[in-house]
Amino acid sequence: MMSTKFTRTALFISSFKRVPCLSDNSLRRNLSNTSSRWAEVGFIGLGNMGSRMAANLLSKGHKVTVFDVNSMAINTALKQGATNASSPAEIASKLKTIVTMLPASQHVTEVYNGQAAKICNNMLLAIEMIGVSEAMNLGMKLGLEPKLLLEIINMASGQCWTSKVYSPVPGTMENVPSARQYSGGFGTALMSKDLGLAMDAASQVKAPTPLGSLANNLYKLMVNSGFAPKDFSSVFQFIQGAAKNK
């Protein structure tokens, strides 16, 4: 399990791997790397070292989001072109690469918890979306009218956020991506990325995720089949197409 005892610096990468207590020179070599990994970076802690490193990235054209309890440090970073986050958890929810420069463990724990909660939630959301899509497709194949079927589900024990708020079936709900050919919303490629992170994390802590693994494989297949830019609820459309090809 990840330790929350950080006496100096911790570098978080998207796969939840941690490189603790890097030397100043080692950190500078990493931060001078112009690869896409550093295109968008979150900085938590803008002390003497953190503020210089953030300024260095900004001067090279990278996008940097910052958080610090010191408002003066934040204002300086904003003048240099940084974006301000309201909390460490906000940075963790939006960025894959995060550098923490903190004297204590509290903020590190908040960042880790925020990122861990995000991938757990999105794994569940993907599984839920697939389940609703399968059930709706089956009911429609059995001759049920989709709006009526959705109403019945939402009055029964199968109801969930997806069925009540974010229906994947065109014509059953207004103001959702399925009502506009799956445009907007949360992209399939982004869901696939988060599922990959969830599987990496599950592997590291040896947590069984049989349904998460199936969801991960399905969304990977969708990305490779041209669904990447569509909302993740387009899994219903993908399942329908797979059924037609049988």
Catalytic amino acids? 118
Secondary structure (3-state) at 26: helix
Is residue 237 a contact partner of residue 225, using CB atoms and an 8 Å limit? no
Rounded Cα distance between 72 and 177, Å, is 42
Residue with token string 């463990």: 105
Using alpha carbons, list the distances in angstroms from residue 180 to 26, 40, 146, 170: 48, 30, 17, 8
**What is 57-113 written as a DSSP string?**
HHHTT-EEEEE-S-HHHHHHHHHTT-EE-SSHHHHHHH-SEEEE--SSSHHHHHHHH
Is residue 192 a contact partner of residue 223, using CB atoms and an 8 Å limit? yes
Secondary structure (3-state) at 10: strand
Nearest to 69 by CA among 96, 38, 103, 40: 103
